[in-house]
């Protein structure tokens, strides 16, 4: 059972940031520290990727585990209003898949970094370097 009123819950959900989140900033700092230069939230590309590396024709999405339905502990769905959340997260996943296909068709390489992956900086660095060194 939700402990907040519908009005309080609405305000809390509206306060969730879509851009410049802590995991996104962490990935940007890592990339910059490794010497990569990039652009942010390029609206001309499908899905307005979080990070765009034009020189490498690559984009990085930094996804929240909850909002994009990751299969980790953070990605578990709420137990209240289940149908709403299944639809919401399902639509997010469908959109993510569609955007990925569109970017691939345009010749872009796509990396999705999950919020939970930002907790281990050594592993995250390996993922990013491997992706960009191909």
Per residue in 55-71, pLDDT tens? Answer: 999 999 999 999 899 99
Tally the domains of the chain: 1
Q: How far apart are CA 104 and CA 98, in angstroms?
A: 10
Question: Read out DSSP for 16-56?
Answer: S-SSS-HHHHHHHHHHHHTT---EE--TTSTT--SEEEGGG
35 is a domain residue: yes
9 is a domain residue: no
55 is a domain residue: yes
Per residue in 118-128, pLDDT tens? Answer: 999 999 999 99
pTM metric for this prediction? 0.86
82 is a domain residue: yes
7 is a domain residue: no
pLDDT for 115 equals: 95
Per-residue pLDDT band for 16 (boundaries 50, 70, 90) equals: low
Domain containing residue 95? 18-132
| CATH code for the domain in which residue 96 is found | 3.40.960.10
5 is a domain residue: no
11 is a domain residue: no
């Amino acid at each position: 059972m939700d402990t907040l009123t519908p009005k309080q819950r609405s305000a809390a959900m509206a306060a969730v940031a879509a851009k410049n989140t802590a995991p996104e900033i962490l990935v940007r700092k890592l990339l910059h520290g490794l010497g990569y230069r990039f652009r942010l939230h390029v609206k001309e590309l499908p899905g307005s990727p979080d990070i765009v590396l034009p020189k490498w024709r690559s984009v990085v999405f930094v996804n929240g585990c909850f909002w994009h339905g990751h299969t980790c502990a953070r990605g578990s769905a709420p137990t209240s209003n289940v149908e709403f959340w299944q639809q919401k997260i399902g639509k997010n996943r469908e959109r993510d898949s569609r955007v990925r296909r569109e970017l691939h068709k345009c010749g872009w390489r796509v990396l999705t970094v999950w919020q939970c992956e930002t907790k281990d900086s050594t592993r995250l660095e390996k993922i990013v370097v491997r992706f960009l060194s191909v």
